[in-house]
Every structure is written in C-alpha cells, then in structure tokens.
Amino acid sequence: MPDMVPEPVLVERWRSMLTSYNRVASQLERALQERHGLTMSEFETLDRLVAADCEKRRMQDLAADMYLSQSALSRTVARLEKGGLVARALCEDDRRGIFVNMTEPGLRRHAEARATQLAILAEHLVVDATR
C-alpha cells in the first residue's frame, strides 16, 4: 500500500481539481452554447457517437460510457433528435433496445463544435513548455 498522503493535502488536491474542472467546464459550456447552440452534455453525446466510429450505437452502451444517468441521456438525445442532429430507432431483435445514429447535420455541427472544444481545452490544459 502506498504511503498515506495527509488528509489536508488530499482535500486541497481535490478542491484544486474541482476548481480547475469548474473553470474549464463553465467556459466550455458557455462557448458551445453561444457558438453552436449545444450544451456540454449534447456535445459530449455527439462526440461519443462520433468516437464510436460505427453507424449506430445502442443507448445503453452510450450511457455506460458517459457521466449522465439513463434518463438524462434520454432527454439529451431527445433534444438532439428534435434538432435533427441524431436519429433514434428501435432494435429489431430486441424491442427494448434503442439505437442512436448521427445525421449529416449532426456530423457537421459536431465538427464545428469540436474545434471550439479543442481550443478551450488547449487554453486550459496544455502545459506551457517554457515554464
């Protein structure tokens, strides 16, 4: 077992990590909304669908990879579907299963928003090599 880190140090590291996350997440949420009309959850859903590199993905598999609950993911996918960015279909083999796939407008919106995401992540997460 590794040496124990003193409790105050652990708590301070945790708080520092939360502060960093909140700073990046709030800027990312604002930029995605203003520039692309997407929430961070909507972008992340599109991003996970693109990263899966397959024609369609089961909702339960998508939910297993994400930080959203099943019901929150369902609401997010419903908003994306209403906007024409994804399409849902029932699984023919298992009527309980639902597939989600990207549409052409969804792929375009994701590509545009991905550039915004990467710029913000680079601004906050890339360590300056001169330090």
What are the pLDDT digits (tens) for 65-87? Answer: 898 888 999 999 999 999 999 99
Mark out the alpha helices in the chain (DSSP H runs).
Answer: 7-36, 40-51, 59-65, 70-82, 104-125
What are the pLDDT digits (tens) for 17-31? Answer: 999 999 999 999 999
- pLDDT of residue 37 exceeding 80, the answer is yes
Asked if residues 48 and 65 have their Cβ atoms less than 8 Å apart, the reply is yes
Output the six-digit token pair for 6: 């003193």
pTM of the predicted protein model: 0.85
Per-residue confidence at 33, pLDDT binned at 50, 70, 90?
A: very high
- pLDDT of residue 1 exceeding 50, the answer is no
What's the CATH number of domain 7-123, 3.40.50.300, 3.40.50.620, 1.10.10.10, 1.10.340.30? 1.10.10.10
For the chain, domain boundaries: 7-123
Q: Specify the pLDDT at position 2.
A: 57
